[in-house]
Amino acid sequence: IRNVDKNHKAAINKSKQQQVDRSRVKIGEQSGSTVKSGVMRGTDVNKGWVVAVVVGIHLAVLLPLLLHYTPTGNNGVFYYYYNRPGGEKHEFWSTDEGVVDLPITNHTHLTLIIHGFSESSHRPWIRRLSDALLSVGKEERVVVVVDYWDLHTINYLQMRHNARQVASLIAHLIDTLVVHKSLQ
């Protein structure tokens, strides 16, 4: 009798396990899940939705950066000068009063450094180049660094337009230096 009871209990347990396995398979089939060995392994994700969400997030972040950027004019172009290797960076303005304190005479070698697209005056290469230029020869030298960060944008077409404004402001600086510092 005990053997019959054990066999009967084993058959009942096996039947219950098969019912559980069948219900897992049915649930998996209804939800689009994959079932392997009676265990749910995950769900299929609609890849189109994933791509749409990722693209949407990228657009939400990048679109404001790519939109038309109008310079404020409040900051415009900044000018800095170095007059000795390893020396401090000094800011000045391209006005009549601003260029008075520049250590420039008509015997000073003056070099202008203007950074490129997607750069700024804070890049390490500008400091290294300034130090190298100031180390050459025994003549008095000044390196002027032009930083047009307020007119900078990652939109290349707008930056091309802003480059005209930057060039005009640099020309104004050179004219001011020629007039007030008697440069040739």
- Residue 165 scores a pLDDT above 90: no
- Residue 1 scores a pLDDT above 80: no
Per-residue pLDDT tens digits for 114-142: 988 778 788 899 999 999 999 998 889 99
According to the model, what pLDDT value does residue 67 have? 58
Measured CA to CA, the distance from residue 143 to residue 129 in angstroms comes to 9
Which one is predicted more confidently, 137 or 65? 137
- Residue 69 scores a pLDDT above 50: no
Per-residue pLDDT tens digits for 14-53: 666 666 555 555 554 555 555 455 555 555 668 888 888 8
